[in-house]
Amino acid sequence: MMNIVTEIDHWRAIKKQLIGKSIGLVHTMGNLHAGHVSLCQRSKQENDITVAAIFVNPTQFNQARDFDLYPRTIDKDKAILEENKMDYLLLLNADILYPDQYQVQVHETEMSKILEGEHRPGHFTGMMTIVLKFLNIVQPTRAYYGEKDYQQLMLIKKMAEALFLPIGIIGCPTIREEDNVAFSSRNSRLTLEQRNHASHFPRLMQSTLNTEQITVELKKLGFKVDYIVDKWQRRLGAVWIDEVRLIDNIPL
């Protein structure tokens, strides 16, 4: 039976009873899919206790409309977490998590300025701030993040190392649908026609074309391209299908 925790003090009281047990954290914004489930399963394999956390973090959305439209499916998410035998679900609201009204922020000055950071100003500051809050609250042994958000994963690892956090930051492989599109909460905002069209994105990313050729082909197909680049031994890309933005990356 999964326990739902809505207060920090409640979690701290629970944690005192877990001395000597390893704790895994899977921190998400909800609208759970197979990618999130893979993180939960990995944590279950590697830890005595797994804590899932769901919070749609307003400070990492650089467009208010994107925040408003972000799919919220908490009842379905609870059922998925129960089915996967999570031990705890941490559901904290914005008033608890931002008592300072976001006056204290976590900044990174180099990696966060390029690619996603260039196209989504403020996104990584909001992301790193909330991740640090959850890592400090839960104090897990290990925390699990998907490689689909590769730049995010690298920044979390960099932050944990720079701030001497005694936590293993574990990157987990991208989980893909049958047509190779990476599972993403934003996929649910696509119409059937848009969703079918989205399969061109991973197909071209995984092709033998170079980044300039991929960009040209995607534009021919009607995608708006933010970037396609080779960096960090990865090919990384971000595109738009109408109002929905998709990101992906593959190892080189």
Q: Is residue 165 one of the residues assigned to a domain?
A: yes
Q: Is the pLDDT of residue 17 over 90?
A: yes
82-100 pLDDT per residue, tens: 999 999 999 999 999 999 9
| Residues noted as catalytic | 36
For residues 105 and 164, state if they share a domain.
yes
pLDDT at 63 over 90: no
Q: What angle do CA 38, 39, 40 make, to 5 degrees?
A: 90
Q: What does pTM read for this prediction?
A: 0.96
Q: What percentage of the chain carries pLDDT values higher than 70? A: 100
Mean pLDDT of all residues in the chain? 97
In-domain check, residue 224: yes
Q: What is the pLDDT of residue 66?
A: 87
Q: Total structural domains in the chain?
A: 2
- Pair (154, 204) in one structural domain: no
Q: What is the dihedral of CA 214, 220, 225, 229, to 10 degrees?
A: 10
- Statement to judge: residues 18 and 106 lie in one domain: yes
pLDDT of residue 221: 98
For 113-125, write each residue's pLDDT tens digit. 999 999 999 999 9
Residue 179 lies in a domain: no
Cα–Cα distance measured from residue 142 to residue 242, given in angstroms and rounded to the nearest whole number? 37
Q: How far is CA 45 from CA 87, 176, 215, in A?
A: 13, 21, 40
238 in a domain, yes or no? yes
Residues 85 and 199 in one domain: no
| Cα–Cα distance, 190 to 183 (Å, whole number) | 12
Residue 69 — pLDDT band, cuts 50, 70, 90?
confident
Last residue of a domain, one of 119, 138, 172: 172
CATH number of the domain bearing residue 40 = 3.40.50.620
Please check the confidence at residue 65 and state whether its pLDDT lies above 90: no
**Looking at the structure, do residues 161 and 81 belong to the same domain, yes or no?**
yes
Asked if the model's pLDDT at residue 64 lies above 90, the reply is: no
* Arithmetic mean of pLDDT, 196-221: 98
Does the pLDDT at position 33 exceed 90? Answer: yes
**81 pLDDT higher than 90:** yes
Q: For position 189, which CATH number holds? A: 3.30.1300.10
State the pLDDT at residue 150.
98
- Indicate whether 53 and 122 sit together in one domain: yes
Pair (41, 140) in one structural domain: yes
Q: Please report, for residues 79, 143, 246, the alpha-carbon distance to residue 76 in angstroms, rounded to integers and kept in the order given.
A: 5, 23, 23
| 75 is a domain residue | yes
- Tell me which of 126, 146, 172 is where a domain ends: 172
- Is residue 252 one of the residues assigned to a domain? no
Who wins on pLDDT, 146 or 62? 146
Q: Are residues 167 and 42 in the same domain?
A: yes
What is the band of 62 on the pLDDT scale with cuts at 50, 70, 90? Answer: confident
Q: Which residue segment(s) compose the domain that 189 sits in? A: 185-247
**pLDDT for 146:** 97
Residue 178 lies in a domain: no
Query: What is the token pair recorded at 112?
Result: 């966060």
Q: Which of 172, 200, 228 is the last residue of a domain?
A: 172
Q: How many CB atoms lie within 10 A of CB 236?
A: 20
